[in-house]
């Protein structure tokens, strides 16, 4: 009797795990033999979010390095020259303008290097 109850508990645990997995969404499919199967949806990783954060961090770091290497006055002069161009150059100038974060990072880089 105890062995039967243990098997029942094992089957019940398996069903509960499947139910929890399917509660987050599922996908139905048909096998080649015609059997309909239900499988839990794959979990979405935060890959796109991590990629976006890495791109933003890299872009701010690039701007900070540019400000630190050529100096804030020269950098702003180049941005002003870029802003006087066509529409694409104006958009690029707007994107490349020194924001407060990149200015702080550039100041930190200049203080640590020299």
Tens digit of pLDDT for each residue in 52-77?
999 999 999 999 999 999 989 999 99
Asked if 21 and 69 sit in the same domain, the reply is no
My answer on whether 59 and 105 are in the same domain is yes
pLDDT score for 25: 87
Q: Provide, rounded to the nearest whole percent, the portion of the chain with pLDDT above 90.
A: 63
d(Cα 73, Cα 110) in Å, to the nearest integer? 14
State residue 1's pLDDT score: 59
Q: Domain count for the chain, please give it.
A: 2
Claim to verify: residue 62 and residue 98 sit in the same structural domain: yes
Average pLDDT, the chain: 90
Q: Are residues 31 and 65 in the same domain?
A: no
Determine which helix (DSSP H) or strand (DSSP E) holds 30, and give its type and residue range.
Answer: strand 26-30
Interval 81-89 mean pLDDT: 93
In this prediction the pTM is: 0.58
Q: Containing domain of residue 32, as a range?
A: 2-40
**Is the model's pLDDT at 114 over the cut of 90?**
no
For 21, counting Cβ atoms within 10 Å of its Cβ (0-12 exposed, 13-18 middle, 19+ buried), the class is middle
Strand partners, 36: 30
Kindly state whether residues 58 and 24 are assigned to the same domain. no
Annotate 55-97 with DSSP letters as a single string: HHHHHHHHHHHHHHHH-HHHHHHHHHHHHTS-HHHHHHHHHHS
Based on the domain organization, do 12 and 54 belong to the same domain? no
Residues 57 and 105 in one domain: yes
- Give the mean model confidence (pLDDT) for residues 5-27: 90
């Amino acid at each position: 009797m105890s062995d039967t109850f243990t098997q029942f508990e094992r089957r019940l645990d398996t069903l509960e795990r499947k139910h929890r997995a399917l509660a987050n969404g599922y996908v139905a499919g048909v096998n080649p033999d015609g059997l309909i199967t239900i499988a839990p949806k794959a979990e979405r990783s935060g890959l796109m979010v991590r990629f976006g954060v890495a791109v933003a961090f890299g872009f701010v770091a690039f701007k900070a390095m540019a400000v630190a290497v050529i100096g804030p006055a020269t950098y702003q002069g180049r941005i002003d020259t870029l802003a006087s161009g066509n529409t694409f150059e104006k958009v690029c100038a707007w994107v490349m303008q020194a924001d407060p974060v990149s200015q702080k990072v550039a100041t930190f880089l200049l203080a640590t290097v020299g």
